[in-house]
Structure 1
Amino acid sequence: MKDLRIRAATADDLDAVLAFWKAAAEGTSISDDRDGVERLVARDPQALLLAEDAGDLVGTVIAGFDGWRCHLYRLAVRPDRRRQGIGSALLAAAEERFARLGGRRADAMVLTDNERAHHAWRAAGYAPEEQWRRWVKPLV
């Protein structure tokens, strides 16, 4: 992994990111489309972090900060590259970003049925908060 590079996505990366999520992310979101990701990158150009190894996209995470809370979305690693430290490198980069911005606590959106992800998040030091139940309403 000496060639692993973490960088912010640009508009030129968005089609590749969307295709990557279809192959590497568990489940989809209503905002997993070009317009949604373009808005993200336009609003916060440093939020969508990409992991590349020798120029190949091998992982992503969205590290969103609204000025008050830090939110993690779309942590995904290419299936054939899992358990090689890519997810950990992405989370470290996201947490460094949050610290620079003054964030004090991060939360992660994790699908209830994605047991593999639950193990990965626990290994990274995150824990479910059972007293909080997220309520969601699609706006479109």
Structure 2
Amino acid sequence: MNDLRIGPATAPDLPAVLDFWKGAAKGASISDDLAGVERLHARDPEALLLARRDGELVGTVIAGFDGWRCHLYRLAVHPDHRRQGIGSALLTAAEERFAGLGGRRADAMVLDGNERAHGAWRAAGYGPEDIWTRWVKPLAG
């Protein structure tokens, strides 16, 4: 893992991130377009964390903080680089970011049907809460 580097995305990285998600992330998101990712980056340039190995993009996570809660989205690792600790390293970097911002609780967006991801999230100490039901409404862009 010594050759793994994690840091915030830069504006020139954003098109490559979108391409990366097409192959590494399960399920497309309504906000997976350049304008959406550019808005995220403009609002919080430190939120989109990238993992690189030898300069190659191998993982991502969005570590958003709204001033009250910490939110994790788009944890994705390239299929050829899975089970090598990259996802765990990304979560550690996200949690360190949250701690530095004063965050005390993190939630993660995980697709119900992505059983492989459920195991990884549980191993990282995350789990579903019976007290919440998530309601979603796509907003017109």
Q: For residues 35-65 of structure 1, give each alpha carbon's deviation from its aligned partner in whole angstroms, at most 9, with x where no partner exists.
A: 0000000000000000000000000000000
Q: Which runs of 5+ in 1 are unaligned?
A: none
Distance between the aligned counterparts of 1:129 and 1:27, measured in 2?
22
Q: Kindly indicate whether residue 64 of structure 2 is the aligned counterpart of residue 49 of structure 1.
A: no
Distance in 2, matches of 1:58 and 1:46, equals 18
Structure 1 CA distance, aligned partners of 2:81 and 2:131?
A: 34
Q: Corresponding residue for 1:117?
A: 117
TM superposition shift of 1:130: 2.1
Alpha-carbon offset, residue 88 of structure 1 = 0.4
Q: CA RMSD in A?
A: 0.5
- Cα distance between partner residues in 2 of 1:53 and 1:128: 31
TM-score scaled by length of structure 1: 0.99
* Deviation readout 1:84-125 (Å, 9 max, x if unpaired): 000000000000000000000000000000000000000000
Q: Superposed, which structure 2 residues align to 1:26-45 within 5 Å?
A: 26-45=26-45
TM-score (norm 2): 0.98
In structure 1, the partner of 2:81 is: 81
Describe the SS at the equivalent of 1:134. coil
Task: Using the TM superposition, give the Cα deviation of residue 2 of structure 1 relative to its aligned residue in structure 2, in angstroms.
Answer: 1.5
The separation in 2 between residues aligned to 1:23 and 1:99, in whole angstroms, is 31
Query: Match for residue 128 of structure 2?
Result: 128
1:95 maps to 95
Whole-angstrom distance in 2 between the partners of 1:38 and 1:65? 17
Residue 49 of structure 2 aligns to a residue in which SS? strand
In structure 1, distance between residues paired with 2:97 and 2:69: 12
Q: Secondary structure at the match of 1:14?
A: helix
Aligned length: 140
| Identity of matched residues, % | 79
Query: Residue 105 of structure 1 aligns with which residue?
Result: 105
Flag structure 2 segments of 5+ consecutive residues without an equivalent. Answer: none
Off by >2 Å, runs of 4+ in structure 1: none
State the shift of 1:133 in Å.
1.0
| Post-superposition offset of 1:131 | 2.0
The letter of the residue matching 1:70 is C
